[in-house]
Copies of this chain bind each other. A is one copy, B any other.
Amino acid sequence: MVKSFKIEDTAAKLVEKSTLLKVLNYIDTVDLKTPVLLMDGDRIKRNVAIIGSGIGNCKVYYAVKANPSTEAIRFLSGLDVGFEISSEGELNVLSGLEVHPERIISSNPVKTVDFIKSAYSYGIRYFSYDSLTEVEKLSQHAPWSNLYVRLSIPNEGSEWPLSKKFGVEIDDALMLLTKAKERELNPMGITFHVGSQCNNIYSWNIALDKARLLSDMARDMGINISLINIGGGYPIKYTKSVLTVEAIETHINKLIKDRFPDGSIAVHLEPGRAVVGDAGIMVSRVTGKADRPDGEKWLYIDVGVFNGLMESIGGIKYTYITETRGGGDVMGINTGIKQNWTLAGPSCDSFDVIAKNVQLYEPEVGDMVLILSGGAYTVSYASEFNGCRIPETLIV
């Protein structure tokens, strides 16, 4: 049966039309078990080709946490991109696919001892840090590794601003670089993170100003900074337009050339969301509908806060498209008009509410609901709470 979806201009503008059409074609050819995350491989390829290309001397490491499924990582391992990991679990996915250790770095500033040991033994030699306890662990279990210290920077303009969990001010960073050198490590880099889904181009200014200042102070202590890891943070489109990769990178490249004019600095970039986010469309089905006492219309679908859409409670507003059969249905409701819906997930937890006031054509029980730009930070956060299935990731 050919499924029917009314694609509004706004939705088509928000997601690459070719990605949407590819997913719609795929849905029509197979009997899909939902929820499932369909990823457009061509879109991932194009994202990988673009990201980092606007910055000189730049290597790109995909942040595995954005989508750590074996399917996504296998696909990415065939492209010209490295990987940023944080734990034994993430290392296991890469080692299972025999990804070369030179393609892997770890920017988790606080790592478990077990992870440091296995990462080092696998051959990984680039680690971030921001505390004395980390210097101690790395000196014992990863001697002579290349270390980059994490600076704390303001996160205004980011949808997911970072707390003070990670990062130090310049004086402490200098002390940590010195300590690392004393403990037979190779402190050689500086990192920072502007926060996820960052739409404020000036966040990178402050960050690179601080990095330059620290770099100068380090040189005076005999430590040569040859690497700036600028983290991730590139935004993608959900319900509104955002800065383009090209605009961000033109800006960053100019900042780096200006702050580090001798051209010797290497740049590491760790995009996650920007690599896989807009390449993925989450496909779910309607499990129920209800009119609640206060007049709200509720739509229940088989993916929710706990099994895939955790970011919906952290500020991400997705674009939804419902299947519209048209005509009557079991309850005799006409499906031709857009109405205001509250969307809820499949668990019994009343916290499992994904969105409010979403304008949708009314679907029936069993119909599909597409969730656009669902490729990043969806399956990564998913749990099997209440026995609900975690969506599989499929590359189409």
Stretch touching chain B among A46-54, A275-283, A381-389 = A381-389
B293, A352: Cβ atoms under 8 Å? no
B131, A290: Cβ atoms under 8 Å? yes
A163, B331: Cβ atoms under 8 Å? no
Nearest CB of B to A100, in Å:
19
Nearest CB of B to A177, in Å:
16
User: If A86-B347, A353-B163 touch, does A110 touch B290 (CB 8 Å cutoff)?
Assistant: yes
Nearest CB of B to A83, in Å:
12
Chain B residues within an 8 Å CB radius of A59: none
Inter-chain CA distance A115–B87, complex, in Å, is: 35
User: If A288-B131, A300-B110 touch, does A164 touch B383 (CB 8 Å cutoff)?
Assistant: no
Nearest CB of B to A129, in Å:
9
Interface residues of A in 185-231 (CB under 8 A from B): none
Chain B residues within an 8 Å CB radius of A65: 347-349, 385-387
A334-367 vs B: 1/0 string, CB under 8 Å? 0000000000101111111100000000000110
Interface residues of A in 282-311 (CB under 8 A from B): 287-294, 296, 298, 300, 302, 306
Inter-chain CA distance A352–B162, complex, in Å, is: 10
B164, A293: Cβ atoms under 8 Å? yes
A380 within 8 A of partner (CB): yes
How many A residues touch B, CB cutoff 8 Å? 75
User: If A65-B348, A86-B387, A111-B287 touch, does A169 touch B134 (CB 8 Å cutoff)?
Assistant: no
Inter-chain CA distance A108–B345, complex, in Å, is: 12
User: If A110-B287, A137-B365 touch, does A386 touch B86 (CB 8 Å cutoff)?
Assistant: yes
Inter-chain CA distance A107–B350, complex, in Å, is: 13
User: If A68-B387, A383-B382, A387-B85 touch, does A293 touch B136 (CB 8 Å cutoff)?
Assistant: no
Closest to A112 in B: B287
A166 within 8 A of partner (CB): yes
Chain B residues within an 8 Å CB radius of A346: 87, 110, 112
Chain B residues within an 8 Å CB radius of A137: 288, 365
B306, A381: Cβ atoms under 8 Å? yes
A344, B132: Cβ atoms under 8 Å? no
Stretch touching chain B among A13-21, A88-96, A246-254, A260-268 = A88-96
Residue from A87, A109, A331 with most neighbouring chain B CB atoms (10 Å): A87
Inter-chain CA distance A355–B173, complex, in Å, is: 25
A113 within 8 A of partner (CB): yes
Inter-chain CA distance A96–B9, complex, in Å, is: 49
A172, B293: Cβ atoms under 8 Å? yes
Closest to A163 in B: B350
Inter-chain CA distance A80–B92, complex, in Å, is: 42
A168, B292: Cβ atoms under 8 Å? yes
A327 within 8 A of partner (CB): no
Chain B residues within an 8 Å CB radius of A164: 292-294, 296, 298, 350
A133, B298: Cβ atoms under 8 Å? no
A1 within 8 A of partner (CB): no
Inter-chain CA distance A340–B93, complex, in Å, is: 38
Q: List 24 A-B contacts (CB under 8 A).
A: A65-B349, A65-B386, A87-B388, A89-B389, A90-B386, A91-B387, A110-B300, A112-B346, A132-B290, A152-B293, A163-B353, A164-B296, A164-B298, A165-B344, A165-B352, A165-B353, A168-B290, A172-B291, A172-B293, A314-B351, A380-B383, A380-B386, A382-B383, A383-B383
Known: A172-B291, A381-B383. 5 other contacts (CB 8 A): A132-B290, A136-B365, A164-B350, A169-B293, A382-B383
